[in-house]
């Protein structure tokens, strides 16, 4: 088809522009015919089949939001005053980091978690499928987070839950022996491969998304999945190793040993992924995110009754706390010991020993929780040593052993009906018992019976004897006021079994004694008594088979049971020191971010310097984050384009080197972007260059057609389109497809000696349906990218167009040298919103959801709401010279990570939060 001057078709919306004879000239090198099947009413192409699934997806996301749990709340003790906030930040800047109280989020989460109590009979189906079953692993691999969205996270969570719980149906009864089934082996192998793939995907996401996004989405959902792994009585069954099958009749066994239940096997991949996040970003993940969430899990239920989910959350909390204790350093463990006691152990013991609430799954689950709690306490005691136990664990041990005294005082009234009348209330038998202060308290008879079955003489034996061996007979007498009662219960248990028994005698480790018969104190992981992952002690001697309290409890056992010799049961493991460990400004920013509400739609800017990118020798003209926000591109006046990594490093003062430099430009680079469909880079200095972002090799280049009208503006079409659109000085828009030679389309915007100046900026709508061109005269022309017809042209500003963006909802935002920032509806005559600056024009801005983040040459960062930008900005910050030097020339928002990239006239680029 002929030259560019050929006009085609009528012109829509031109009569109101004030321009005479302003039609569209269309020149098609490759004519494209539109099929009747394509629907162009709302989008470029609408697939009715895909659209039919959206309501279900939206419903799933809505349900997910209702169930969301705020799991990374900043604790009251985590003061930002201990952290570096930059070079010379004031106390005002430090105070601005304090996040809002997150107790309301936990309250809402508690209502969501406990509101839907699961019936025990429905647990297996619910626990396996409640997170969704429609996804595939491919959906995990294609996970893309844009803005603050939950859809992809919901997909990830559903996939992870399905694949982690999928093998649970294959287990069946733990003790059952089934015939060999080749098809079953193949299916189990596929499940393992799928599970391994999902775990690798989660790890890759954790490393790619960065600390804040990983903690807000990945880690939070993993923590929620941890509870799902323990829902249902089937997941509370103890797993007995094959080597100990014959010892099953031994009862409680050794409290030093880790008690494994079926749910632990399902939860293992979840815990591994959680620990990987901690290994990647350091101990703060354990102490500032995981521990507060554990405190929420073990907190008293709002309904004053335990449900199956709360029951499962206790097991999940114990499993995660055990991991945390193992991986904390000695110094950090001692610093956090009071918090672990107050926020985890004591609330856990409150729920475990209370006579006011029963466990939905009954005696067995309460016993399992008790054994695992004892094992956790024993692990902490072994870590900190005997002296520290006496100083810091006294309240914990007293609270546990106090339940035996409570049951002993209530036993005559409950069993023999001495002053304890029974009655039925709401189909539940209750009993009024008299307490030590002569007041009457009403308890459920079933709960008291449950407590009596759990805290029986065998439990007293299984708990008191090991702690005697651990901290010494004299010490435990001081710590436990009712030690005489506990000892009597221990004696009654020993008399009820055939004693001595090989299993019973070796169930508990014997301590080391001096020549005088006194217990030799052990130093835990702080001393030198550890050899690898086991405790090195002298072998025990033969003792009298008739023990007594005065003689100590060492005679109950003859040898140590190496309960902490495996990797899962190690006393201590080193947390690898990663180069991406959070410290300094990164730690301060991360703490602030995880304290925010997950659904907070606002962009908060506190001027925290996180990273510096030094490498350009000229003014930074343009910035473009890549799709995953793990890299970004920068174009400069020094004729180069550089690719930079966005991974966190250091404490905020780190200067990062470019990953790749493209040096084929001959002039100053004023545009750089990524062609989303092909993952190729487009940059322009008057000539459009298309090059590979991995190798830096040029693929193609496009110069001005006649050499007299240089290219002045460039933009890329959104996926799945593969086109690049650029405007030249002759007011012609040209489309190129890198997959084809030559030009794809030419659309003339002005002719007959009526022009609007040079095309300064192009903005393509998110759907790719329209292209808005801003001119140096202040005119804006809206073009239909499918037909080439001009939909509208209007004098938008009185000065030069500085920047333009297109947004969802058919919106166009433009800034001009006339000091105005305006929001336009595509086909409406008047602007929706307009803001006029009193000091400096806004020469750079970017979108964050429904907000605009702007920058001026006076180095001021403003945040505006698009709902009403006519008023003052939501926030306005003057950049300090310590955090940003030079004059602001370019700006880009990282919407997923909620960070800001700022380019300057000296070539330096800063990453700020």
Residue 851 belongs to some domain of the structure: no
CA 851 to chain CA centroid, nearest Å: 24
pLDDT of residue 101: 39
Count of CB atoms within 10 A of residue 565's CB?
Answer: 13
| 870 has a pLDDT exceeding 70 | no
Section 178-202 average pLDDT? 81
For residue 828, what is the enclosing H or E element?
none
- Whose tokens are 């933009």? That residue is 715
CA Rg, the chain, in Å? 34
Asked whether the beta carbons of 293 and 72 are under 8 A apart, the reply is: yes
pLDDT of residue 527: 46
| 317 has a pLDDT exceeding 60 | yes
Residue 203 belongs to some domain of the structure: yes
pLDDT of residue 413: 64
pLDDT of residue 40: 35
| Per-position DSSP letters for 61-75, written without gaps between them | HHHHHHH-----PPP
Domain encompassing residue 319: 193-239+255-384
Report pLDDT digits (tens) over 614-635: 999 999 999 999 988 999 999 9
254 pLDDT tier (thresholds 50, 70, 90): low
* Neighbouring-strand partners of residue 836: 820
Report pLDDT digits (tens) over 879-893: 998 899 899 999 999
Torsion sign over Cα 380, 386, 388, 390: positive
Report pLDDT digits (tens) over 448-462: 889 999 999 999 998
824 vs 17 pLDDT, higher one: 824
pLDDT of residue 437: 63
The mean of the pLDDT values for the chain is 74
138 vs 706 pLDDT, higher one: 706
pLDDT of residue 115: 41
Residue 285 belongs to some domain of the structure: yes
Residue 210 belongs to some domain of the structure: yes
Q: Write phi, then psi, for 270 (nearest 5 degrees).
A: -65, -45
Section 268-289 average pLDDT? 95
Share of the chain above pLDDT 90, in %: 42
Report pLDDT digits (tens) over 644-659: 999 999 899 999 999 9
Residue 749 belongs to some domain of the structure: no
| 762 has a pLDDT exceeding 90 | yes
Range from 110-119, 476-485, 492-501, 770-779 carrying the lowest mean pLDDT: 110-119
pLDDT of residue 4: 38
Residue 367 belongs to some domain of the structure: yes
Section 797-816 average pLDDT? 91
| Per-position DSSP letters for 417-435, written without gaps between them | -SS--EEEETTEEEEEEE-
Asked whether the beta carbons of 102 and 146 are under 8 A apart, the reply is: no
Section 603-618 average pLDDT? 93
Those residues with Cβ within 8 angstroms of residue 262's Cβ, 6 or more apart along the chain or in another chain: 168, 171, 174, 234, 235, 236, 237, 239
Section 181-205 average pLDDT? 86
436 pLDDT tier (thresholds 50, 70, 90): low
Number of structural domains found in the chain: 1
763 pLDDT tier (thresholds 50, 70, 90): very high
Give the integer Cα–Cα distance in Å for 891 and 903: 6
Report pLDDT digits (tens) over 323-373: 999 999 999 999 999 999 999 999 999 999 998 889 999 999 999 999 999
For residue 609, what is the enclosing H or E element?
strand 609-613
* Neighbouring-strand partners of residue 745: 735
| 39 has a pLDDT exceeding 50 | no
pTM: 0.73
Three-state SS for 296? helix
Residue 487 belongs to some domain of the structure: no
* Polymer length of the chain: 913
Give the integer Cα–Cα distance in Å for 899 and 593: 11
Cis link prior to 6 (omega < 30° from 0)?
Answer: no
pLDDT of residue 738: 86
| 19 has a pLDDT exceeding 90 | no
Most confident of 221-230, 590-599, 704-713, 714-723: 221-230
730 pLDDT tier (thresholds 50, 70, 90): confident
Residue 199 belongs to some domain of the structure: yes
Lookup: tokens for 525: 């992981």
Lookup: tokens for 321: 């706390």
Give the integer Cα–Cα distance in Å for 429 and 443: 9
Give the integer Cα–Cα distance in Å for 461 and 487: 8
771 pLDDT tier (thresholds 50, 70, 90): very high
Count of CB atoms within 10 A of residue 786's CB?
Answer: 16
pLDDT of residue 75: 36
pLDDT of residue 855: 93
């Amino acid at each position: 088809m002929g030259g560019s001057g050929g006009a085609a078709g009528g012109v829509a919306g031109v009569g109101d522009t004030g321009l005479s004879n302003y039609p569209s000239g269309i020149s098609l090198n490759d004519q494209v015919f539109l099929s009747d099947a394509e629907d162009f009413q709302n989008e470029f192409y609408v697939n009715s089949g895909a659209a039919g699934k959206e309501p279900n997806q939206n419903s799933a996301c809505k349900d997910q939001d209702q169930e969301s749990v705020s799991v990374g709340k900043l604790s009251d003790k985590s003061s930002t005053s201990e952290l570096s906030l930059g070079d010379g930040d004031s106390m005002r800047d430090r105070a601005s980091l304090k996040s809002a109280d997150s107790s309301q989020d936990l309250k809402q989460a508690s209502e969501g978690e406990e509101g839907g109590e699961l019936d025990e009979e429905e647990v297996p189906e619910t626990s396996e499928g409640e997170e969704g079953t429609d996804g595939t692993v491919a959906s995990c691999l294609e996970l893309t987070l844009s803005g603050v969205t939950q859809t992809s996270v919901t997909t990830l969570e559903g996939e992870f839950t399905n694949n982690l719980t999928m093998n649970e149906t294959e287990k069946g009864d733990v003790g059952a022996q089934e015939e060999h089934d080749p098809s079953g082996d193949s299916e189990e192998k596929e499940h393992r491969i799928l599970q391994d793939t999902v775990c690798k995907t989660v790890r890759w996401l954790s490393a790619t998304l960065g600390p804040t996004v990983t903690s807000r989405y990945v880690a939070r959902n993993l923590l929620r999945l941890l509870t799902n792994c323990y829902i249902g009585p089937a997941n509370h069954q103890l797993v007995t190793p094959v080597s100990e099958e014959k010892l099953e009749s031994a009862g409680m066994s050794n409290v030093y040993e880790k008690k494994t239940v079926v749910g632990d096997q399902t939860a293992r991949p979840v815990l591994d992924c959680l620990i990987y996040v901690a290994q990647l970003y350091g101990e703060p993940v354990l102490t500032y995110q995981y521990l507060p969430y554990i405190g929420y899990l073990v907190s008293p239920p709002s309904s004053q009754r335990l449900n199956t989910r709360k029951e499962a959350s206790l097991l999940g909390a114990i499993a995660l706390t055990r991991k945390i204790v193992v991986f904390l350093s000695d110094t950090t463990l001692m610093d956090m010991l009071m918090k672990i006691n107050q926020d985890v152990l004591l609330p856990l013991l409150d729920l475990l020993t209370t006579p006011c609430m029963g466990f939905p799954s009954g005696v067995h689950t309460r016993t399992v929780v008790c054994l695992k709690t004892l094992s956790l306490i024993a692990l902490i005691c072994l870590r900190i040593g005997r002296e520290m136990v006496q100083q810091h664990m006294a309240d914990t041990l007293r609270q546990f052993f106090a339940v035996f005294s409570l049951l002993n005082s209530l036993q005559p009234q409950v069993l023999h009906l001495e002053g304890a009348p029974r009655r039925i209330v709401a189909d539940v038998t209750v009993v009024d018992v008299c307490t030590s202060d002569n007041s009457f308290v009403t308890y459920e008879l079933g709960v008291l019976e449950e407590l009596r079955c759990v805290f029986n003489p065998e439990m007293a034996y299984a708990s008191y004897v090991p702690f005697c061996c651990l901290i010494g007979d004299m010490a435990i007498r001081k710590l436990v006021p009712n030690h005489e009662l506990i000892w009597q219960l221990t004696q009654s248990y020993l008399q009820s079994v055939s004693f001595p028994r090989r299993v019973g005698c070796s169930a508990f480790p014997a301590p080391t004694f001096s020549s005088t018969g006194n217990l030799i104190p052990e130093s835990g992981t702080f001393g030198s008594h550890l050899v690898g992952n086991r405790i090195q002690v002298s072998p025990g001697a033969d003792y009298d088979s008739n023990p007594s309290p005065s003689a100590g409890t060492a005679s109950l056992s003859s040898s140590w049971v190496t309960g902490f010799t495996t990797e899962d049961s190690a006393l201590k493991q080193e947390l690898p020191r990663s180069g991406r460990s959070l410290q300094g400004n990164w730690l301060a920013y991360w703490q602030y971010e995880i304290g925010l509400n997950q659904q907070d739609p606002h962009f908060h800017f506190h001027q925290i310097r996180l990273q510096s990118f030094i490498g350009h020798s000229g003014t930074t003209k343009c910035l473009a984050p890549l799709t995953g926000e793990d890299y970004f591109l920068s174009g400069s006046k020094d004729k180069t384009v550089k690719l930079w990594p966005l991974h966190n490093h250091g404490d905020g003062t780190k200067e990062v080197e470019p990953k790749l430099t493209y040096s084929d430009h001959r002039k100053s680079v004023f545009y750089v972007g990524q062609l989303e469909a092909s993952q190729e880079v487009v940059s322009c200095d008057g000539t459009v260059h298309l090059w590979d972002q991995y190798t830096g090799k040029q693929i193609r280049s496009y110069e001005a057609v006649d050499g007299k009208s240089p290219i002045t503006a460039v933009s890329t079409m959104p996926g799945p389109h593969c086109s690049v659109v650029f405007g030249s000085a002759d007011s012609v828009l040209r489309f190129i497809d890198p997959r084809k030679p030559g030009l794809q389309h030419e659309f003339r915007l002005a002719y007959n000696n009526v022009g609007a100046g040079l095309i300064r900026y192009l903005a393509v709508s998110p759907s790719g349906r329209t292209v808005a061109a801003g001119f140096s005269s202040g005119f804006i022309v809206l073009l239909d990218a499918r037909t080439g017809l001009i939909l509208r042209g209007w004098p938008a500003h009185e000065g030069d167009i500085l920047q333009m963006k297109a947004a969802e909802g058919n919106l166009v935002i433009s800034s001009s040298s006339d000091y105005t920032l305006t929001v336009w509806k595509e086909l409406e005559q008047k602007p929706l919103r307009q803001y006029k600056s009193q000091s400096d024009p806004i020469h750079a801005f970017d979108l964050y959801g429904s907000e605009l983040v702007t920058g001026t040459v006076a180095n001021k960062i403003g945040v505006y709401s698009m709902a009403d930008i006519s008023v003052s900005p939501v926030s306005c910050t003057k950049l300090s010279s310590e955090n940003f030097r030079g004059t602001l020339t370019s700006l880009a928002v990282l919407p997923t990570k909620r960070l800001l990239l700022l380019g300057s006239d000296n070539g330096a680029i800063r990453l700020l939060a």
